[in-house]
Amino acid sequence: MTKPKIAVLVGPTACGKTDTAVELAKKLDGEIISADSMQIYRQMTIGTAKPTQGEMQGIPHHLIDCVDPDEEYSVARFKEEALRRIEDILFRGRQPIVAGGTGLYINGLTMPWGFREKDTDEKVRERLAREVEEMGREAFYERLKAVDPVTAAALHPNNVKRMIRAYEIYEVTGKPKSCLDMEAAKEELPYDYVLMGISMERPLLYERINRRIDLMVRDGLIDEVKSLLDQGYTEELLSMKAIGYKEIFPYLKGEMSLEEALHILKRDTRHFAKRQLTWFRKDQRIRWFEVENYDTRVDMAEDMSVYFSVH
């Protein structure tokens, strides 16, 4: 039996995913599922570049404004909720279009993956973090190596977070992470994911990033960050470490000028876009569409719809 096809649109920040996804949705009679790890947070609108009602053009968007800034949200939860939305959209006879720049979310959804919520235990993780501090990274690395040599070989002893995660999986499940990964690789995906990427020349992308940040400030980014702090959301929260928020804190605390803060924000966003491109370029499944080859996003979406229909 032929699996349903799911369109997946990826690319770096500020490359125009929103506009292109909307045009693609018009052509495919689709609905958009956001794969953005920051747009899930309520009240974080300007700094995460959430699409406005006008930009959505009547196309339904899912997995935006799902949780408060102090709530935890994992890749496993994204996968579960995205699959639920996909099933619902297909049931209603429409085409799901997953669009976003969070590589972990894209991979978690479109690739066999052994991670599940039942493999996690926050108390175990906290205890392991204390043990790393007590025994040192190298000793903890040797401890991981003894129970999961395959995973340990792929990690550097300085990567404490991933070492702790791997050992947490072993303690919670009784199986090495590498074994669970092998089991997951045998699992069959429920859908046929067709991945398409938006690419543009670096100078143009950087120019768009700089312009977007200027517009964010004009639209009230500073007040948005101040409002979140005033409500008690602290800098230590994962959500507050997002690009577009953490760079504004020093300005609000009087530690630097607004000009300096925005310079750092633009620089960090450019670096982030570069990391996104590096991540996605490694994925051989993605068919890239160069912005420079099209007069409009409508034209690009037309080519994408044709590509999607024959793959």
Give the mean pLDDT per block of 10 residues along the chain (311 residues).
94 97 98 97 97 97 97 90 98 98 92 66 89 93 94 89 90 87 79 97 96 97 97 93 95 96 97 94 96 97 98 92
Number of domains in the chain: 2
Instruction: Say whether both 122 and 213 belong to one domain.
Output: no
Answer yes or no: do 160 and 12 share one domain. no
CATH at 225: 3.40.50.300
Same domain assignment for residues 41 and 139: no
- 17 annotated to a ligand binding site: yes
Examine the fold and report which residue of 185, 202, 237 is the final residue of a domain before the chain moves on: 185
**Predicted local distance difference test score (pLDDT) of residue 248:** 97
The pLDDT score that the predictor gives to residue 90 is 98
- Determine the pLDDT at residue 139: 93
Residues 103 and 209 in one domain: yes
What pLDDT sits at residue 114?
A: 57
Looking at residue 156, what is its pLDDT?
86
Tell whether 286 and 298 lie within a shared domain.
Answer: yes
- Is 12 annotated to bind a ligand? Reply is yes
At 164, which CATH number? 1.10.20.140
pTM: 0.83
| pLDDT at site 26 | 98
Same domain, 214 and 105: yes
Q: Is 15 annotated as a binding residue?
A: yes
Predicted pLDDT at 115: 55
Q: Same domain, yes or no, for 156 and 215? A: no
Q: How many C-beta atoms surround the C-beta of residue 305 within 10 A? A: 19
Which structural domain, as residue segments, surrounds residue 152? 117-185
Tell whether residue 93 is among the known ligand binding residues. no
pLDDT at 182: 80
Q: Is 16 annotated as a binding residue?
A: yes
Q: Are residues 255 and 236 both part of a single domain?
A: yes
11 is in an annotated binding site: yes
Give yes or no: residues 60 and 80 share one domain: yes
Cβ 56 vs Cβ 22: under 8 Å:
yes
CA–CA distance, 277 with 198 (Å, rounded to integer): 10
Query: According to the model, what pLDDT value does residue 135 have?
Result: 93
**Does one domain contain both 170 and 193?**
no
Q: Residues 218, 72: one domain?
A: yes
Last residue of a domain, one of 185, 215, 244: 185
End of a domain among 141, 168, 185?
185
Q: Are residues 56 and 153 in the same domain?
A: no
Tell me what pLDDT residue 292 has. 95
